[in-house]
Structure formats: structure tokens, C-alpha cells
């Protein structure tokens, strides 16, 4: 992973987390914060994506932001929590994109 602005990534994940805390269980929030605090941004973002990607009222724009961050962090190639993460995430994103246009 080259030329990644880790400060930006950290801040972006924290903004996404803070703006969507009401959609997340307390243990998920704590896990994401823990991973951010120990500079495990890939793990923090994957956990956030897994928790929010199928929430119907989760804003599509924020889902798109998570997609871009996930690609930057190579979650399209390697994940930690779910071997099918990228396929599941892109399927959920495509479904949301389709629903937004209909």
C-alpha cells in the first residue's frame, strides 16, 4: 500500500463511525475504536463495512466512501474477518445503487 495518507484514513473512518453510531451495536463500536487506536485501519474499516453494508437506511454516499477507502486499503484483495468480504460488500453496494436509481 503506497502513498496512503493514514491520518486521512483514520479521520474518515472515525467520521463514518461517529455519524452512524446509532446504527451500530456497542461492541462493534468498541471494536472499531480499538482497531483505530492500534493503527489497524483495515480491520476497523472492514468491521464497519460488515456492520453497515446491509442497513437499508445507511446513506449510499457513505457506502461509496467506504468502498473507496476499502480499495485504498486493499480490502478488495485481502480481508481479515470475512473471506467473502469483497464479494459481499460489492454485491450490497450494487444492490443499493440499483435501488437508488429505480
Question: Is the residue at 97 inside a domain?
Answer: yes
Question: Is the residue at 70 inside a domain?
Answer: yes
**Are the C-beta atoms of residues 60 and 96 closer than 8 Å to each other?**
yes
Question: Is the residue at 95 inside a domain?
Answer: yes
pLDDT at position 59, please?
Answer: 82
Dihedral sign of CA atoms 65, 67, 70, 71 in order: negative
Domain count, the chain: 1
Question: Is the residue at 1 inside a domain?
Answer: no
Question: Is the residue at 94 inside a domain?
Answer: yes
Question: Is the residue at 87 inside a domain?
Answer: yes
pLDDT at position 96, please?
Answer: 86
Predicted confidence pLDDT, tens digits, the chain (102 residues) = 568 899 999 999 999 999 999 999 999 999 999 999 999 999 999 999 999 988 877 888 888 999 999 999 999 999 999 999 999 999 999 988 888 776
Residue 61, domain extent = 6-101
Question: Is the residue at 57 inside a domain?
Answer: yes
Q: Which of 41, 42, 52 is nearest to 19 (CA)?
A: 52
**Are the C-beta atoms of residues 85 and 79 closer than 8 Å to each other?**
yes
Instruction: Write down the pTM of the prediction.
Output: 0.91
Question: Is the residue at 43 inside a domain?
Answer: yes
Amino acid at each position: 500500500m503506497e502513498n496512503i495518507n493514514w491520518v486521512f484514513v483514520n479521520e474518515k473512518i472515525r467520521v463514518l463511525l461517529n455519524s452512524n453510531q446509532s446504527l451500530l451495536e456497542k461492541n462493534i463500536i468498541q471494536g472499531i475504536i480499538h482497531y483505530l487506536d492500534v493503527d489497524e485501519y483495515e480491520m476497523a474499516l472492514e468491521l464497519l463495512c460488515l456492520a453497515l453494508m446491509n442497513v437499508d437506511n445507511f446513506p449510499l454516499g457513505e457506502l461509496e466512501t467506504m468502498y473507496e477507502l476499502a480499495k485504498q486499503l486493499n480490502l478488495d484483495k485481502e480481508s481479515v474477518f470475512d473471506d467473502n468480504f469483497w464479494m459481499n460488500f460489492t454485491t450490497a453496494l450494487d444492490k443499493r445503487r440499483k435501488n437508488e436509481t429505480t
